[in-house]
Chain A
Amino acid sequence: MSEIVPPEVRPKPAVPAKPSHVAPPSSVPFVPSPQGTGGEGQGSGRGSALFGYIGIDTIIEQMRKKTMKTGFDFNIMVVGQSGLGKSTLVNTLFKSQVSRRSTSWSRDEKIPKTVEIKSVSHVIEEGGVKMKLTVIDTPGFGDQINNENCWEPISKYINEQYEKFLKEEVNIARKKRIPDTRVHCCLYFISPTGHSLRQLDIEFMKHLSRVVNIIPVIAKSDTLTLDEKTEFKQKVRKELEACGIECYPQKEFDEDMEDKSDNDKIREAMPFAVVGSDKEYQANAKRILGRKTPWGVVEVENPNHCEFSLLRDFMIRSHLQDLKEVTHNIHYETYRAKRLNDNGGLHPISSSGQDTQESNL
């Protein structure tokens, strides 16, 4: 088997651009543009002095308009034992009924005997931006008595999506916009035992952290008191480190100091302890999402109660695009290189496995 060396991180393609959440740079002091955004996109350091306003930075606006027109895809997979609140969390994240359970919900659905892969797609719109969200659910994971290799169907599915994309890419007459069904993000739900990771968790993450972006979350974290929470998180982090499991955001893909510091902060807070709810309650004269118990209301969006808002901001508001990029540039490329390298093992593509266009007969 040939050595698989993940290719160098290619420079980011011009489309799509990084969301502009960076602080205005101070490296170019005399650009008399209305605001200092986008200065980074053209390369840091002293550029040549500009004597007037050219308007290069409007490329951001143009990109934005384009993206709004085309919309984009996002595929999220949720993995965990049944009853950990996966569907509820996804509903809460996207503030709508997008999970599998909402479309065909029945409480006494029997636990399937093998792991199944079920995906549900919705198009949601916000501020003129359309997103085709696909939620891939894995009922039956970890529920059997014998859970050997229950990650295999999942691994197979992920690779199948890569394969589909590869086939489309390798066509002579390529589609203008290849439908992207690759899994961009996998939320792995950890059961809140308060002690440590289960054997099954470690096995799954070991097998899949190199193939897809895994974000571990602690499910139903309203079981844990604050002390128990911090202790548990520390233990989980230590165990993941000890087993060599790299979750998203991976340390090796940090590009510069800013990225690193941002991501470090996030890594310190991971795994996020979340609570999901799609019911609203009245509290402090506001209607908030929460869970009502006889001893109080657990507010989902209150950072003192749980880290749901952190997760949402991280996943959607700051790193959504990054998730897609890492999937495309790193995981997909790894798969592609592997596929094209060992042609003999898997189904070969119609002709020689070089980087040439082939006809799809």
Chain B
Amino acid sequence: MKEPNLEGYVGFANLPNQVYRKSVKRGFEFTLMVVGESGLGKSTLINSLFLTDLYSKDYPGPSQRIKKTVQVEQSKVLIKEGGVQLTLTIVDTPGFGDAVDNSNCWQPVINYIDSKFEDFLNAESRVNRRQMPDNRVHCCLYFIAPSGHGLKPLDIEFMKRLHDKVNVIPLIAKADTLTPEECQLFKKQIMKEIQEHKIKIYEFPDTEDDEDSKLIRKIKEKMPLAVVGSNVVIEVNGRKVRGRQYPWGVAEVENGEHCDFTVLRNMLIRTHMQDLKDVTNNVHYENYRSKKLAAVTCNGIDTTKNKGQLTKSPLAQMEEERREHVMKMKKMETEMEQVFEMKVKEKKQKLKDSEAELERRHEQMKKNLEAQYKELEEKRRQFQEEKANWEAQQRILEQQKLDASKTMEKNKKKGKIF
């Protein structure tokens, strides 16, 4: 492509500003899901992240919830900052991992995510697409209990099932339980296990910018992030900080040496929110979409209910699609032929019928004609008869006349005598 030099100021450098203004007017949406056992500080962390009490003090805590099945609850809140509106949806999963038997406790979560994808797919396929709200889950924060040893079987199962549906960001909850050394070891252990089980957690995209990439590398080293949440303000050395007060000191939430909360907040809100949305849209949603549409065209029935993994490679899939397409064509052909035959038969039948009809009418007409002819003949005969009669009568009359004249003549001859 040619890259000509501009000789003056054209002004399309203003384009980002226009986009910016439009987006600000439209407002943004972000859906965040938090998953973890009760008592890991999920609600507190959300409150700390967004500096509001999304979960107020009288939000029923886990002790008051009936822990029969895993629920999926969402709460929407609209927050404004600097003229920018954000519709934040927090999806909570109370009851996760709390029962004695936790098999399939991830199923409600998977169902929820898929239903949001499906809503979006349907909205996209509509004719009128103007209002298309994006309710898909953009990010899933998974809370790991700070045991200090490694991942639990439940953690591994959950992340394995959700890593290709949503961006999973694992967090170490209540990190003020761990000393820095324990924390390091724990993080290493977790990352090792994540790699072992081939779990794909959210990866920060590499940028070309040197500074950014340094930052990103630092963040990557700290994964999974060890967080502490609190909205209580405590005074430490004359400063007011958010933290947790212990008899032996204050664990500050926003202190980088105490925990990774600031890293999480910056990453989640300040730098990578848009990227999370993009990855959700381009990767997770596309995966869902292709699976769903492939299922529908293959069988004509919605097979997305049973979520098997796509075990065929794309080539095999294409081959199969082609074969199916050919089969479909053949079927359509035979069908069409059948239809054609049927139509031909019909037409023939119709023609026959009309022919018969015509014949009939012809016959009838003929009959009519003959009848008329006969009538006419009759009439003519009559007429002839009458004519003959009349002629005969005329002749007779003439004869009589002649006879009469003859006699008269005779008489005249004779008679002239009288």
Contacts and interface: CB of A to CB of B under 8 A. Distances in A.
Interface stretch (A91-99, A152-160, A175-183, A188-196): A188-196
Nearest to B193: A108
B150 interface: yes
Given A84-B147, A226-B247, A294-B258, A147 B100 contact: yes
Interface residues of B, number: 44
Contact of A107 (B99, B103, B185): B185
A196 B62 CA distance: 8
15 contacts: A82-B152, A108-B189, A144-B153, A145-B154, A148-B100, A195-B62, A198-B98, A223-B174, A223-B177, A235-B63, A293-B251, A294-B255, A295-B249, A296-B249, A304-B247
A111 interface: yes
B343 to A, nearest CB: 63
Given A199-B67, A220-B177, A292-B179, A225 B246 contact: yes
Nearest to B103: A146
B179 A200 contact: no
Among A107, A193, A220, chain B packs the most CB atoms within 10 A around the CB of A193
Given A195-B63, A294-B180, A111 B153 contact: yes
A305 interface: yes
A148 B248 contact: no
B162 to A, nearest CB: 15
A295 B258 contact: yes
Interface string A290-302: 0111111111001
Nearest to B39: A193
Given A223-B176, A225-B244, A294-B180, A83 B147 contact: yes
Given A111-B152, A305-B247, A193 B38 contact: yes
A240 to B, nearest CB: 14
A40 interface: no
A143 interface: yes
Given A191-B145, A295-B251, A199 B38 contact: no
Given A220-B177, A222-B176, A191 B153 contact: no
B180 A299 contact: no
B157 A145 contact: yes
A146 B102 contact: yes
Interface string B63-86: 100010000000000000000000
B101 A146 contact: yes
Contacts of B145: 83, 191
B176 A293 contact: yes
Interface residues of A, number: 41
A81 interface: yes
A293 B149 contact: no
A333 B180 CA distance: 49
Given A108-B192, A193-B38, 8 more contacts: A82-B152, A147-B100, A198-B98, A199-B99, A203-B100, A291-B179, A295-B248, A295-B250
Contacts of A196: 62-63
Interface in A41-86: 81-84
B260 interface: no
Contact of A145 (B153, B185, B245): B153
Interface string A107-120: 11001000000000
B246 A143 contact: no
B147 A295 contact: no
Contacts of B249: 293, 295-296
Contacts of B152: 82, 111, 143
A305 B180 contact: no
B245 A225 contact: yes
A305 B247 CA distance: 6
B27 interface: no
Given A195-B62, A292-B179, A293-B249, A143 B153 contact: yes
A194 B39 contact: yes
Contact of B257 (A193, A294, A296, A298): A294
